[in-house]
Amino acid sequence: MKIVTIEGYGYDSNVYLIVENDTVLLIDSGTGYYTPSILEEIRKHTSPENISSIILTHRHFDHSGGSTDISKIAGCDIFIHEKGINSLVIGDPVTTCAKNFRAKMFPVKAKPLGDTFEMEENIFKIIHTPGHTSDSVSIYHEESGSLISGDTVFASGGIGRWDLPTGNAADLSESLKKLEELDVKHLYPGHGDTCNNNCNDAIKSAEEMIQSMEHSTIIIKKQKDHADSKK
């Protein structure tokens, strides 16, 4: 099994190509603005017709916008966590954040992911990691220690925004705790560089960051409540 990174251009998400012989799994699709150049990159490794499925790490436009066009070329299905399906089917500009990109979200026909996803002899665990969005998933291949994390955690130890629709800090903190338990040798995030050593450290520092932020939010809230009670 080989994982090929197609780096996102501008706001586009990274796109990952998981290749096993002539079977290919595509993770995320970018906004759709750069689909021709993504297809050109794919052709360097395989034929786009070999893509058997597209998995979206979450519903955001920068990850899902290009999925319909690529799925038509490949003749394949698109999968996402069940919590993201409705937003995609109706092309909701708010929860997909297309509105934030001043873009039009075209409806995406997506099917629900299960707990695992099989590609030839490879088994991927689909780990529900809400927090950045309620439908965020991380895709884990235990045998190679590969984790595709979407916008939940980045290689630098950064975390995705939790203040967008359906996001929340407490869920993100719990999700990072789940990921901390994995043995991650290779981290493939939704944006920026990939990580090939000490990836668990990046997840740990992300978890510590959200903990300290949550803690300071609680302190600010307590101070505010205290001030309000004095009014």
- Contacts to Zn ion by CB under 5 A: 13, 60, 62, 151, 190
Q: How far is the CB of 220 from Zn ion (least distance, A)?
A: 25
Asked if 31 contacts 59 with a C-beta cutoff of 8 angstroms, the reply is no
Q: How far is the CB of 130 from Zn ion (least distance, A)?
A: 12
Burial code (b: 16+ CB inside 10 Å, e: under 16) for 166-195 equals: bbbbebbbebbeebeebebbbbbbbbeebb
Q: How far is the CB of 86 from Zn ion (least distance, A)?
A: 17
| C-alpha to C-alpha distance for 187 and 197, rounded to whole angstroms | 9
Whose Cβ is closer to Zn ion: residue 108's or residue 119's? 108
Q: How far is the CB of 228 from Zn ion (least distance, A)?
A: 34
Name residues whose C-beta falls within 8 Å of residue 25's C-beta, 6 or more positions apart in sequence.
Answer: 17, 18, 51, 52, 53, 54, 55, 117, 119, 124
Tokens at 208, concatenated: 């510590």
Whose Cβ is closer to Zn ion: residue 3's or residue 164's? 164
Whose Cβ is closer to Zn ion: residue 48's or residue 190's? 190
Q: How far is the CB of 138 from Zn ion (least distance, A)?
A: 13
Whose Cβ is closer to Zn ion: residue 62's or residue 135's? 62
Could you tell me the sign of the dihedral formed by the alpha carbons of 200, 8, 55, 136, in that order? Answer: positive
Whose Cβ is closer to Zn ion: residue 60's or residue 141's? 60
Helix axes 35-43, 67-74, angle to 10 degrees: 40
DSSP output for 14-25: PEEEEEETTEEE
Closest residue to bound Zn ion by CB:
60
Q: How far is the CB of 143 from Zn ion (least distance, A)?
A: 27
Whose Cβ is closer to Zn ion: residue 119's or residue 131's? 131
Tokens at 86, concatenated: 């409705």
